[in-house]
Chains A and B, each alone.
Chain A
């Protein structure tokens, strides 16, 4: 809603500025549902797609694949899809943070490989407790990220170069850790394999969905009441109700569908809970506010007394930690820490997902949820093409085209903002 408002005046650059009172009309908070819908439609007509683009894209992809192969929307395949997107999804959460800063991290694929290798060495070779091993893998990722962040800030080297070096360096580290065998297997049925492979019971799935809806409702309603009491602009009751009901419907349909297969995969729960956590980190904490400020205007942040470089290093650490967490998830999915884990397209897809989901490459704008929606698009294409046996050629072309389209949308809406 605020986004719509913020874009309002941009539509009329001619009247903007000299006559602030006309601008005021654009800023007026919508008071009814109908008004919100019409504002949204006006924004769409201007080419400002917002978050609707990614939803439209997902629906389109699903309709196309389902019409070609009726297996696509089958419960087991959707269960697979949910598991497939969670690995890259964790990595993309770190990517969102990096992009918010206006930086880039090309080492995430290699770091996820290192994370899996560390896990394999510690748990399978040295006999560590599996959960301690996971923690150690994530810490290792954070350390590698911190190192890159320090090089980036101390020597003022562009992050593209630092992390390109990191990509190669950590790939070497991964191969060295794995030794001559080249891969470390996690026995089937062990804690590591079970982590990703298992699902919660149907009842637990509904319980979690209910918990999420209650939490959302409580936050939205108390937030609205506080704003209303403070005399600030607040959403009309209808919109609040629609938001909560829509979320509830979507969540329960997803759980119902996944329950028809086995249940909600733990991997998906971890991904969604972390996505919610990152959303809160970015939008509700002082730290997130500082990250957005550094990404929007580093000089302004510096003058406001923010330790800009400390923020940068910490975000690289988060990116490394999330990449390693993704690596752990992937190792659990595959059942082994191998040499090619973290290679291939995972790096590029993880960045592409954040961008397709609507996080700007130019810094300062984006959301943790873009990791979820972006991976839903990429995962659907990947999964659907796989079902059609179109493994590589078309798959790359389609995902590439979607990525370019997403960046074009980003640039176009950027132009709207700056005119």
Chain B
């Protein structure tokens, strides 16, 4: 736990607080040639995937397309067999979830991993409790007031509607729980956040709140990877869409220049001959935009 507090400040961690728009479009995570096999099954084959700062990229695909496998490969839960992993311009090879977290990648899993019996504050600070400095060496006493205060500010900054940070998580609605899980991920000051089906099992209002929240993350300059089944959610907030199909890249789309039909076709593979706009050369727009920036 102390590793979090003792970790040297990361580059860029400071300017994120100053507001969004810093280095927007800078490729943060670049995966190429990622493959993963389970016995004879090729779960992922030669996948490339890019996530950029200040951008929401949706990862979509049918059941069994390899979305979860790719997420697990990125988050370090199940590292890929092959492939290069470039994060923030540096080639890295994370072996475990903690390596990935240290890089600045946070994952919010579908099951949220919240302890129902603890209050919102307790969940947010689980594993990184703030202690009273004066007694730290004798007994690690928690400074609950300052944790509660920061929790309140953090949640308010996200626009999350949680009236009391001291209420137990079990009493919260699905959307509120999702907000707590996302806020929890943000406490580690990540640069990239993976959201695994954040709107599954939510009602209409709650889904709207969570989507609003993802946009807030993007405005803060984070790279957001949104895994979703729901294309209307994806079209509502995402900037780009990466389609996985049968463990391979099924096409990359820019939301502004595509239609639902084209994305559905890429997911199902029913019209494989449609002009999969970006599939042929996904790297080029990135390169040109980068060139314009520097």
Footprint of B on A, CB under 8 Å? 2, 5-10, 16-21, 23-24, 27-29, 223, 226-227, 230-233, 284-287, 289-290, 292-293, 295-297, 299-301, 303-306, 363-365, 417-418
Contacts and interface: CB of A to CB of B under 8 A. Distances in A.
Question: Which of A29, A231, A289: most chain B CB closer than 10 A?
Answer: A289
B203 interface: yes
B131 A6 contact: no
B115 A29 contact: no
A286 B170 contact: no
A311 B220 CA distance: 37
A286 B118 contact: no
B142 interface: yes
B129 A286 contact: yes
B144 to A, nearest CB: 8
Contact of A9 (B146, B165, B171): B171
Highest count of chain B CB atoms <10 Å: which of A27, A28, A290, A364: A27
27 contacts: A2-B119, A6-B119, A6-B168, A17-B173, A17-B175, A20-B205, A23-B173, A27-B164, A223-B145, A227-B145, A230-B145, A231-B152, A233-B164, A284-B142, A286-B1, A289-B122, A289-B129, A290-B127, A293-B126, A296-B117, A296-B118, A297-B113, A301-B126, A303-B113, A305-B1, A364-B117, A417-B170
B1 A306 contact: yes
A12 to B, nearest CB: 11
A265 B1 CA distance: 42
Interface of B: 1, 3-4, 97-98, 109, 111, 113-119, 122-123, 126-129, 131, 139-142, 144-146, 148-149, 152, 161, 163-168, 170-171, 173-176, 203, 205-206, 209
Contacts of B140: 285-287
Nearest to B141: A284
Contacts of B111: 299
A236 to B, nearest CB: 15
A7 B173 contact: no
Contacts of A18: 173, 203, 205-206
Nearest to A28: B163
Contacts of A17: 173-175, 203, 206
Contacts of B167: 2, 5-6, 9, 27
Contacts of B203: 17-18
Contact of B166 (A5, A287, A301): A5
Contacts of B109: 303
Nearest to B184: A304
Contacts of A16: 173
A394 B109 CA distance: 53
Contacts of B141: 284-286
B126 A7 contact: no
Contact of B126 (A8, A287, A304, A363): A304
Nearest to A302: B113
Given A29-B164, A232-B148, A286-B142, 5 more contacts: A24-B163, A233-B164, A290-B126, A306-B126, A418-B170
B4 to A, nearest CB: 8
B142 A292 contact: no
A415 to B, nearest CB: 12
A305 B113 contact: no
Contacts of A292: 115, 117-118, 122
Given A5-B167, A305-B1, A364-B115, A20 B175 contact: yes
A223 B145 CA distance: 8
Contact of B171 (A6, A24, A284): A6
Contacts of A8: 171
Given A21-B161, A305-B127, A231 B173 contact: no
Contacts of A28: 163-164
Contacts of A223: 145
A219 to B, nearest CB: 12
B187 to A, nearest CB: 11
A225 to B, nearest CB: 10
Nearest to A227: B145
A287 to B, nearest CB: 7
Nearest to A225: B145
A363 B115 CA distance: 11
A6 to B, nearest CB: 4
B185 to A, nearest CB: 11
B171 A7 contact: yes
A231 B148 CA distance: 10
A209 to B, nearest CB: 25
The 9 closest A-B CB pairs, nearest first, are A304-B127, A364-B117, A296-B117, A296-B115, A17-B173, A27-B163, A300-B113, A24-B163, A27-B164
